Amino acid sequence: MTDVPADPSAAGGARDYRGTVFLPRTPFPMKGDLPKREPGWLERWERIGLWDRLRQQSAGREKFVLHDGPPYANGALHIGHALNKILKDVINRAAQMSGKDADYIPGWDCHGLPIEWKVEEEYRNPRGKYQGGRDKDAVPVLEFRAECRAYAAHWLDVQREEFRRLGVAGDWAGRYATMDFPSEAAIAGEIGKFLMNGSLYRGLRPVMWSPVEKTALAEAEVEYHDHKSAILYTGFPILKAGAEDLVGAEAVIWTTTPWTIPANRALAYGGEIDYALLVVDAVAEGVALVRPGQRFIVAEALIGAFAKEVGLAAFSVKRVLKGTELAGAIAAHPLRDWSGAQGGYRFDVPLLEGDFVTTEAGTGLVHMAPAHGEDDFRLTRAHGIAVPECVADDGTYTVQAPGFTGIHVFKAHEPVWAALTETGHLAGKGFVTHSYPHSWRSKKPVIFRATPQWFIAMDDGNQIRAKALEAIANTRFVPDMGRNRIGSMVAARPDWCISRQRAWGVPIAVFVEKKTGAVLRDQAVLDRICAAFAEEGADAWYRPGAAARFLGDGRNPDDYEQVMDIVDVWFESGSTHAFVLRDRGLPVPADLYLEGSDQHRGWFHSSLLESIGTNGFAPFKAILTHGFVLDEGGRKMSKSLGNVTAPQEVTQQYGADILRLWVMNSDTADDLRIGKTILGQQAELYRRIRNTLRWLLGNLDGFEESEILPHDQLPELERWVLHRLTELDARLRKAAADYDWNGVYPEIHGFCATDLSAFYFDIRKDSLYCDARDSHRRRAARTVLDALHRCLTAWLAPVMPFTAEEAWLARFPSETDSVHLRDFPVLPAAWRDDVLAAKWQRLREIRRSVTGALEKARGAGTIGSSLQAAPTLHLAPAEIELLPPAAWAELCITSDLMLSATPPPEAAFTVEGVAGAATEFALAPGGKCERCWKVLPEVGQSAAHPTLCRRCEAVVEAAA
């Protein structure tokens, strides 16, 4: 056998020591490739029955219920949906991993006008399946409802898969929908509770009405946009007054709704307002509406604005009077003598005191159209004035608006102006652009219109308003400003109008006796209705013979009106607590309701009123709101601007974990911004976190439990890292308890990037790569890496469920296990060490003096690596014992370091803000170890391994 020299260099070659270094090894790839990998994780979780196993594993734990506010099953998800569901999912997952049973039932809102609208669009579409040849009103109601149900079912399935693709965990198989038969029965039952307790009544009151959609609207269904409205000033001639000089004068009003003039039945004044009786002396050139000699009554404070608007060149104020002097005055309608009305407006118009009249705008006098304003209705009804129905459901005038019948109210300003011009009472006209209510579905302007509707009383014997305000005071709001917002809405709101004049929804399944107008309150009838709905759905109400079936024996269906209005969809979604939570054994009230901030007037509001009315308490313990999503420039997203970010596109390009990271790196209490640049930034943050996990996994290769060292045997640096874990653990658990996640994941990212990658990993890679496999220092580092991996994978699991699962199984391969079956690790109290943390904060400050000096030398080309340096660190005598020189060299990643308590030379490097520390740069003497790259005098002293330092020589020899 030929002899082989111990040192290959003796045979003329340099030895390669790379195989003796413990370099990281892991199957966890550097590139996430999330769009391709994430669907596979979803399939795996489905295959192993993850959701059902979580429920079984959690049996007996404290329940945590985040009740899902139902999105509308109408179209693909938008970025707001993604924000909402991701935030819910993070909170649910964190609650589950905090030791609770977080059973989440996702749901959908399926009834209502938007779906009807889409089906009707298909009817009207000349390219649709009916070639535009279908009239909705001619379609049998059950057939129309079936089409609406099919439409909602399709989009429910689409949205469910899109939510699952975002990584949202929940009982998708057991989801709820308001159109499920049991749901429809429960909704009818909730209406029945208001029927039986007396709070449900039918009455005539002004409600917001959509002429396009021909239905009443809730406040939550209305949005405000700029709108160009016609205006007018018109005078009501005084026929009778306490003071003779007022008779013949014209009480002037200003309105932005000229179409309401035919419906006028009174005027309102403020009792404490000062009014002026003025005479027109001259009019401006070109003004034809007002005439010299006319006498007007206007608020004194508004004379200047009035004169300018109507073109008064000169006028005289005859006297000033208090509004109380107008009490008992009677005026004529300004259309009283109009030839086109054939005497239709020859009725008296009384002047009434109104506490709502101000001098902020107009004339200080307000015209009252009882059917078209809440104040108008309340004041006129209090004085026994009848409410005319001048406007039909399509927005056209009825016969009760003589001379205007058939004209649409939004086209009425020209005819009204012309009629008032003929009578000589039009003082001014024009246009104004102002904020005006629009239907959020049709985007068309709405009107106030008094119609017979079904209401739930707010202030009857059940005291829903008072109880709701008390419940609000006892509810936790995140952020707290939501309390005042919903509180002010509840305090000021009118009775709840719950009826809609449509076909797709749950009917207000009640009967009214035709002879007396009394609502039938019979629990047996209600029970029959609910039982039928549970078996057949609400379609049972529309089937032939329904009235006889539900009224039962002993009542003639011909004697009763079967109400065909459907219930407001906000009532439906507001009653979900009744059939989603209690019926499934989940606690009521729920721990949390979470939606966008607009839901203070929407779902939060209706849920509160519905539950207060039926249960006497709120359905939630806490409410959390988030903002809206804008583009990168802070603009609202719109297709026309081309600035829409669709969640489907984000998952296809980046992956769901990136989108989820964007949510949790944002302050969700405010409006969020998203776009290509922001998503690119999130992808970079993700890459850093992924690299941290990869480094951990690589350096835990082959790790065994027997390597773990007790806490008291760990070096200070390792104990400091464990202390940092306790700080993050406390931060995360507090967020889970308070539902306030703002800043939590940016802090975890900062820990990975700054504390670990740029500090701890950088320092310990020498030991991990080059120390002996079982050295104390290497075992200590791997003990900490084990804790870091377990903590980070668990902490990241709620926000990055796909990546956390991959990082967990890369270390602990299993066909059935999952990181999502774990709880957050419980960290030993001994790891918390605030004194040590304070010391290491100072050590890191001092370290900046050394690393700054090294960077300066690197910039000058003096060194390429910090291991080529052996600086001197000057410290104050009181800090010279903080660490020994070898530990400082390790901390600063230099080959050697000297400490000095003497004053530093003037040229020593210092860092502003770091007092008491200065560094003298010096090159490290000796040769470079080919294995660890440290520059040491001892390199070259070994005959067997002349290119190694003593440590590396020992490691290589021990492994030989």
Q: What is the DSSP string of 72-117?
A: BSSSS--HHHHHHHHHHHHHHHHHHHTT-EE----EEB--SHHHHH
Beta strands in 440-538 (DSSP E): 447-456, 476-478, 496-497, 499-500, 511-513
Residue 781: per-residue pLDDT? 98
SS3 237: strand
Please give the single-letter amino acid code of residue 836.
Answer: L
Please check whether residue 230 is in contact with residue 258, taking contact to mean a CB–CB distance below 8 angstroms: yes
**Distance in angstroms (rounded) separating the CA atoms of residues 781 and 293:** 99
Q: What is the pLDDT of residues 689-706, one digit of tens each?
A: 999 999 999 999 999 999
Q: Name residue 560's beta-bridge partners.
A: 513
Mean pLDDT, rounded, of the chain? 92
Angstrom distance (rounded) from CA 526 to CA 531: 9
Task: Report the share of the chain in percent with pLDDT over 70.
Answer: 98
At 71-116, the pLDDT tens digits run 999 999 999 999 999 999 999 999 999 999 999 999 999 998 889 8
* Type of residue at 125: N
Q: Give the residue-averaged pLDDT of 2-12.
A: 36
What pLDDT, on a 0 to 100 scale, did the predictor assign at position 220?
66
Length of the chain measured in residues? 960
pLDDT digits (tens, 9 = 90+) for 315-360: 888 889 888 889 989 999 999 988 888 778 889 999 999 888 888 8
Question: Residue 675 is which amino acid?
Answer: G
Window from 25-34, 372-381, 451-460 with minimum mean pLDDT: 372-381
- Mind listing the pLDDT tens digit for each residue in 651-663? 999 999 999 999 9
Torsion angle, CA of 91/92/93/95, rounded to 10 degrees? 80
Res 69: pLDDT: 95
Segment 164-192 mean pLDDT: 97
Measured N-to-C along each axis, helices 776-796 and 716-738 cross at an angle, to the nearest 10 degrees, of 10
Cα 260 versus chain centre, distance: 38
Cβ atoms 108, 174 nearer than 8 A:
no
CA distance 803 to 234: 70
pLDDT for 178 equals 97
pLDDT in tens, 799-848: 999 999 999 999 999 999 999 999 999 999 999 999 999 999 999 999 99
- Using only the alpha carbons of the chain, give its radius of gyration: 39
**Region of residue 810 (left: phi > 0; alpha: psi -120 to 50; beta: else):** alpha
**pLDDT tens across 909-930, in order?**
999 999 999 999 999 999 999 9
Q: Which of 588, 594, 586 is nearest to 612 (CA)?
A: 588
Please check the confidence at residue 9 and state whether its pLDDT lies above 50: no
3-state helix/strand/coil string of 897-939: CEEECCCCCCCCECCCCCCCEEEECCECCCEECCCCCCEECCC
Convert the pLDDT of each residue in 553-592 to its tens digit: 989 999 999 999 999 999 999 999 999 998 888 999 999 9
259, 331, 345, 398, 625 from 263: Cα distances, Å:
8, 15, 10, 11, 42
pLDDT tens across 602-627, in order?
999 999 999 999 999 999 999 999 99
Confidence of residue 887 (pLDDT cuts 50, 70, 90): very high
Q: Which residue has the higher pLDDT, 494 or 885?
A: 885
Percent of all residues in the chain with a pLDDT value above 90, rounded to a whole number: 70
Contacts of 518 (CB under 8 A, 6+ apart): 512
The string of pLDDT tens digits covering residues 790-801 is: 999 999 999 999
